Amino acid sequence: MTVMAERTSQMSVEEFETIASAAPETVTLEFIDGRIGVKKVTDGDHDTIVSWLTKRCIQARPDLDVYHGRGLRVAAYRQGRAKPDAVLTPEAHFAAYGEWADPEGALMVVEVTSYDSDTDRRDRYEKPAAYGQAEIPVYLLIDRDSCTVTLHSSPDRKIGGYRVVHTAKFGEKVLLPDPIGIELDTEILKNYVR
């Protein structure tokens, strides 16, 4: 696991939230590791992958909900803000929350890579560290660049990430561990890459 050097924060969380609340709907802003980041607007294949995953999860576990673009307080001491592509939770878990919710109770966060220059740093390094520090049980990265699914589990706040990381090629079956317990056949994901 690569440990990122701690940076001086560009601004306070409160300043970030003010900026994020005024951003147009065409822009998704995040605040991870003291830096403001812009998530690229998704394309149709990206959205189709998130829709496919949502259907699989709800079919297998109708007691769960999948939230899209849900703002979470992440990273050390909850000083980060992320908007994963999907968050799997018990039913109605985020009812009554505002824009930024505490991640406690989230079972899994999902990111689907975008074809942009920040994907490597953001989705492969910063997000696993932030989600692991927030003790979210599972982080699923659907990586369209490498045609792989990377499953991070067993979060460990001390190491700043996850203790168990398993990568499978598109086409393989992937078992999402407890507390989820869903098997995904990733063959269809081959259709949604460039």
Q: What is the mean pLDDT of the chain?
A: 87
User: How many angstroms separate the CA atoms of 144 and 160, rounded?
Assistant: 25
Burial code (b: 16+ CB inside 10 Å, e: under 16) for 4-16 equals eeeeebeeebeeb
pLDDT band at 1, cuts 50/70/90? very low
Q: Does the N-terminal peptide bond of residue 179 adopt cis geometry, omega within 30 degrees of 0?
A: yes
Between CA 43 and CA 56 the distance in angstroms is 20
Place of tokens 């598109």: 170
102: its two tokens: 């505490």
Q: What is the pLDDT of residues 34-44, one digit of tens each?
A: 777 676 667 89
pLDDT of residue 114 exceeding 70, the answer is yes
Report the distance separating Cα 20 and Cα 12, nearest Å. 12
Q: Is the pLDDT of residue 5 over 60?
A: no
pLDDT > 70: what percent of the chain?
88
Average pLDDT over residues 132-154: 96
pLDDT one-digit tens code per residue, 68-99: 989 999 976 557 899 999 999 999 999 988 88
Task: Assess whether pLDDT exceeds 70 at residue 2.
Answer: no
Q: Strand pairing partners for 36?
A: 31
In order of 34, 103, 134, the CA distances from 11 in angstroms are 7, 22, 20
Least confidently predicted of 28-42, 46-60, 93-107, 169-183: 28-42
Q: What are phi and psi of 167, to 5 degrees?
A: -115, 135
More confident residue, 4 or 143: 143
Please say whether the beta carbons of 190 and 148 come within 8 A.
no
Does the pLDDT of residue 128 top 50, yes or no? yes
Domains and CATH numbers, the chain: 42-192 (3.90.1570.10)
Q: What is the pTM of this model?
A: 0.82
> Measured between alpha carbons, how far is 16 from 138 in angstroms, rounded to an integer?
26
pLDDT reported for residue 166: 97
Kindly indicate the confidence band of residue 191, based on its pLDDT and cuts at 50, 70 and 90.
Answer: very high
- C-alpha–C-alpha distance, residues 107 and 142, integer Å: 17
DSSP state of 80: E
Band of residue 116 on the pLDDT scale cut at 50, 70, 90: confident
pLDDT score at 26:
67
